[in-house]
Structures are given as structure tokens and as C-alpha cells.
Structure 1
Amino acid sequence: MRTFNWAILGPGHIAHKFAESLALLPNARLHAVASRSAAKAQEFAAKFGAPHAVGSYEELLAVPDIDAVYVATPHSEHHAHTLLCLRGGLPVLCEKAFALNARQSQEMISTAREKGVFLMEAFWTRFFPAINKALELVATGTIGEVKHLAADFGFVASYQPEARLFNPALAGGSLLDIGVYPLFISKLFLGEPQDIKAVSVPAGTGVDLTCAMVLSYASGATASLFSTLAAQTDNQCIIYGSKGQLHLTGRFHAANGITLHLTGQEPEVIPCEKQGYGYHYEAQHVQECLEQGLTESPLLPLQFSQELMQLLDTIRQQIGLRYPGE
């Protein structure tokens, strides 16, 4: 079995979880870590047994035998760091939100295609067993015609104007950080909306503290989506059909099962595998794609990510949120 050498660009909070998750894959190992701080890179590499640590992102291109790079820097940096790796011939798994806006993501996609190098958005939710089972149940008509999807994601964030979540220069706000999850799940199950309306409440820095969205679809379905940095919400997703309801159990973006409640019947709990944090599911999929010589994922194609970025742009336009330099 071939072993895949992973590199992490940006050893922050999520990168630690990703590195821990790689240990669940027998044919994956952390090979290199890149940070703006050599000390931070070395500390991270020592913790996870990576043989290479570099103190600049550019130096990563000189590290031999890298099979894939996980870009885990703030949203505002995804575009530049993904282009750096792609132009160096390195396959990229880039954290969501994919970029700052659709213009940036289109350049990333065009560069990947031009170079013939693999690129995928790191939307780990897509690869959870519970999500695949839910898609199967909806596709086979188990809950009938889907009429509505409701999803929320919220937690209380300490207001620190310079921190990632609230800093406009780092593309802060609830929408790009967590609102993207309800938007993603609605697109995954319902497709591209015909119409979308959004409202928000700004934080002191001008980014969205709270964002609420309603969407309608050609099928006749609707969706109500919500994100906030000001309250702990249930972090759930419910899909309402003409024959019953489907609940993703646990936090929906990292679901551990499904509760199926068909009209007139007792609820049925369908447990689904969830190991560790769950980042290894997306890593495994990337490895399978690379093994097959693919340059994009059939389960999370680049067009999907581009359309998702376009929706985020539309929502930000409606709520009046622009980031520096746009």
C-alpha cells in the first residue's frame, strides 16, 4: 500500500485536529509543516513526528516527496497559499471557505486546471458516512419530496476585534466561518437556489455577528439557514419531506448518525461511523483521487465550490459586507 506524505501549511487550531486525524489512516503520514515562524513549525512537527519543518510558506516547495498540502491558514490567505502550492506542482486540499470571494476561487480553479494539479475544498462534512447515508435516503425517496431544510450553526465567541473571527482583514464574521456550513448542506441536498435573501447583525468591526438566510428552489423546496457568533445554537440540520423528516444527529456538520421519523411511525435511529474528529475522511478521499490520477473530486467538484463561493458573494452583497482590498 502506498503511503501518502502530507504537508500542512499553517499549523493553527484546525491543523492540529487534521494532523491527529491523519494518524487514523494507515497509509498517511505528516511529512512536513510550514509556518511563518520556524519555531512554531518545529514545535508542531515534533508533536506529530513530521521529518520536515520550515519557517516560511515558500520553503515548503523545496521539501521533497510531498504528495498533498493541507492549506489551513485564515480565509483571507487561502487564495495566495493555494496558488503558491499549485504553481509549485503540489496537490492542494484547501480549508473552507475556499477563498475570500468567487473571483479568487475562480483563479485557484483555473490555475489547478491549467497546471493539471489536484485541488479540492476541505469541506470535511461531505465525506462523513452519515452524510452519504442521508443523501442515499433522500435520493431514494424515503422521506418523499423534500419541502424544507433547516440548518443552524452558532456559538458564543469572545469579542476580540483583532482576532480571526472578528477581524475584517482576516475575512472574519459568522458567514464565512460557520454560516458556510448551513449553506453547504442546503446546496448538497437541494442544489442551486432560484432565490436567496439574507439579513445580518454586524459586530463592532463591521463583520457579521449573525446572519440569517432564506432560499427557494425550482423544485418548490425552501431552506432557512442561520449562523451566529453570539449564541450557542443546536447546530442541527432537519430535512422535511412529504413522507417524514430526517435529522442529522450530533452536530450536523460532523454528524454521527441519522434519526428518521416517517409520518405515523416511531422514529428510527440509524447510527453511522464517526471516528475521532473526522478529518481523515476527506484526507482518505483525496488520497483515493490522487491514486486514480484525478485532478478534482467527483464527490466535491470544483464547480460546486465555485457556486458556493458565488452564493457567499451574493449574501455578503445583500448584507453589505466587503472585506479590505475587494
Structure 2
Amino acid sequence: MSEFEFPESRVPDPNAAPSLGWGIAGPGWIAERFADSLARHGSQRVTAVGSRSPSRAEAFASSRGLRAHGSYGELAAEPEVDVVYVATPHTAHLDVALAAIEAGKHVLVEKPFGINASEAERVAEAAKARGVFAGEALWTAFLPSYDVVRQLVRSGRLGELTAVVGDYGEHLPPGHRAYDPALAGGPLLDLGIYLLALATDLLGEPDRVLGLGTALGNGVNGQLSALLGFPSGAQAALTTTMRGFTPALLTVVGTAAALTLDGPFNSPGGLTVRTADGETHRWEGAPGSHVDGLHFQAAAVARAIADGRLETDERPLASSILALRVADELRRQTGIVFPGD
């Protein structure tokens, strides 16, 4: 069997990151997992939670020993909050992030960074003007497994990149907020944004975008596929759906080797490389849930802030904006309408 040497992950120990106080805006599903991840791993401290519903904030806070605030403004004014983690529904990301920035707080906005590129640009510009950190909580970009992927790609170990092929589908039951057109529903911003983010991170900005979508009865998109062409000649073939589970694999194809992240590709786990001679090689990473992986992004934010940086190297603001520009074009082609369009 031929040999293939994997690089070591360069992700620092999250316990070594400077400890910051975090305030959570929006006590929902992802906020619960973020708080639990920081409680179990690393050095970051969740100190407060805010919601437009005081009862929801209190329920979230009481079991975690946090201070509860009945508004996002009160949360942003909390002296022991250094960073506001924006975990509200997508359509509130812009307003909540801008309010926190105006209050002088750093912000980490749960993906997507906005519901369109214009919103993302507004948050980025506001943070720069205020001199505070802003970033997108696309947790995959901060995982040790994805750092190995980046190194393999950028060192040329895969050869010339020719394609990225990926799928991400989940069964989201009726009643899930993704079915609500007023909340920018559909799989694009919940699931598909991972595909667009990683494809553009690895291949750059596409010069051709083709989209095919399927609408549900209430006008919300239920399934979306995209074909992206890049100036290098590489292509990306991506599909996402909220009407059923798919393998959730991502394969990066090069002329010397192809790598596939274990499914679900956006979570902690391992990867397989198949070299041009047909041999397969494994990099083993422990599989895990959000609780096992969300703390890596918080530690990266803390390191950036301590270093005086206003964004992370792992997920620069320009990358977040680029992925949303591609999403905007896919929406234009497929007739997906979000609030404010």
C-alpha cells in the first residue's frame, strides 16, 4: 500500500484560550448546545442570556446559573458580557448584531451571518467602524478535521482541485421554523449554507452559478441544487433538502487525490483520502455532536480578540459575505423570496 502522510491539526487547545464572558441572544436549540459546549469544554464562560420573552430567558438561565435579561438591549448592556453570541432566528441576526455592536460588544453571529450579502456587509462595516470583533459561527470552519482539510488542499497534496461534491439533507418536520416564509424558511440558510461556505472557501469565488429549486405549497423552498463553475475550471455540485435525510458527505476532488469528510461532514469526525493509485488512507477524528464541537469557534474568537484582531483567520468576514452572495444569486434564479427582498 502506498503511503500518505496527514498533517497534524493546528487547532490550539481551547483550554489555553483567554477566558471571555459570553452573552447569548436567543435561548433556542442551538443556544442550548452552545452553552452546554462551553460549560463542558474550553475556558469560555457564558454569563447571561437575553430574549424578547423574559420567561424564556429566565427558564434558560435558571438551570445554568446565568443572569436573564428580557431584551437584547439589556443583554448588550451587561457589564460581564464581552461577546454576544447571536442565536436568534435568521431574520433577527442583523438587528441584534447591530445593537450589540453599537453597545461596544464583540459579536459572533450564528450562521448565516445575515439572510443576504447586504445584511452581512452592514454588520461587517458596523463592527469595523466601532472597532469590535465580528464573525460568523460556522462551526465546521473551526474544527480540527477541517484544519486538516485546509492543509491538504493548500499544500497541494490533492493536486489541482477539480471538483467539490456535497449533499446535506435533513427531515425537518412541519412546524419547524424552516417552513415559515416570514423567517426566511427553506434549507438554504440552515443546511445549504454549509455547502456554499466550504465550496467557496476551497475553490474561491465562482464565475458561473446555476440553481434548481423546488417550492412547497406555501412558497417556501423545500429543495435546492446548485452547480458552480470557477475560473480555474473546477466545479462544485451541491444539493440540499429539508424533506429527508441524505448521507451528508462532502468530497474534494483533486488530480492527485480526493478526500471525503465523514458524514455528517459539518460535524466533528474523520476523513478518507483516496490517492490516484486507488489506495485509501484514513485520518481518524472522534465523531461528535454540537456539544463536542461548538467550543472551538468560541476559543478562536477569544484568541482573535486577545490578539487585537477584528475577525478570525478560520472564517474571515469576506468569506461569509461571499457565500451569501452566491446564495443570493441562487435565490434570484430559483425565485426564493426572503423578507425584505
Q: Same fold (TM over 0.5)?
A: yes
Contact 1:256 1:273 in 2 (8 A): yes
1:191 alignment counterpart: 204
- Can you list the C-alpha shifts for 1:14-63, whole angstroms capped at 9, x where unaligned? 0011001102344211100001221211121122222x111111111331
Give 1:248 shift: 0.6
Q: How big is the shift at 1:264?
A: 2.2
1:124-143 CA-partner distances (Å, limit 9, x unpaired):
11001111101111222222
AA aligned to 2:283 is I
SS for the counterpart of 1:277 is helix
Aligned mates of 1:71, 1:136 — CA distance in 2:
30
Match of 1:239 in 2: 252
Distance across 2 between alignment mates of 1:102 and 1:151: 22
Q: Secondary structure at the match of 2:303?
A: helix
SS of corresponding position for 2:179: coil
Q: What is the alpha-carbon distance in structure 1 between the residues aligned to residue 121 and residue 256 of structure 2?
A: 40
Deviations 1:63-90 (A, max 9, x none): 1121111000011110000001000101
The offset of 1:265, in angstroms, is 4.3
Equivalent in 64, 68, 87 of residue 48 of structure 1: 64
Residue segments in structure 1 that go unaligned for 5+ positions in a row: none
1:154-233 to structure 2, matched below 5 A, reads: 154-160=169-175, 163-233=176-246
Letter in 1 for 2:279: E
State the AA in 1 paired with 2:50: A
RMSD: 1.5
1:271-286 matches, cutoff 5 A: 271-272=284-285, 276-286=291-301
Counterparts of 1:190 and 1:13, CA distance in 2 = 32
Counterpart CA distance in 1 for 2:336 and 2:39 is 39
**Which residue of 2 is the match for residue 31 of structure 1?**
47
1:17 paired residue number: 33
Q: Does residue 7 of structure 1 match 2:18?
A: no
Q: Matched residues in 2 for 1:258 and 1:106: separation?
A: 34
For 1:222 and 1:310, locate their aligned partners in 2 and report how far apart those are by CA, in whole Å: 17
Q: Return 5+ residue gaps in structure 2 as ranges.
A: 1-15
TM, length-normalised to structure 2 = 0.91
SS of the residue 1:6 aligns to = strand
User: What is the DSSP-based 3-state SS (H/G/I as helix, E as strand, rest coil) of the residue aligned with 1:23?
Assistant: helix
Which residue does 2:302 correspond to in 1?
287
The two structures have a TM-score, normalised by structure 1, of 0.95
**Whole-angstrom distance in 1 between the partners of 2:168 and 2:76:** 36
In 2, Cα distance between equivalents of 1:230 and 1:120: 30
The residue aligned with 2:83 is 68
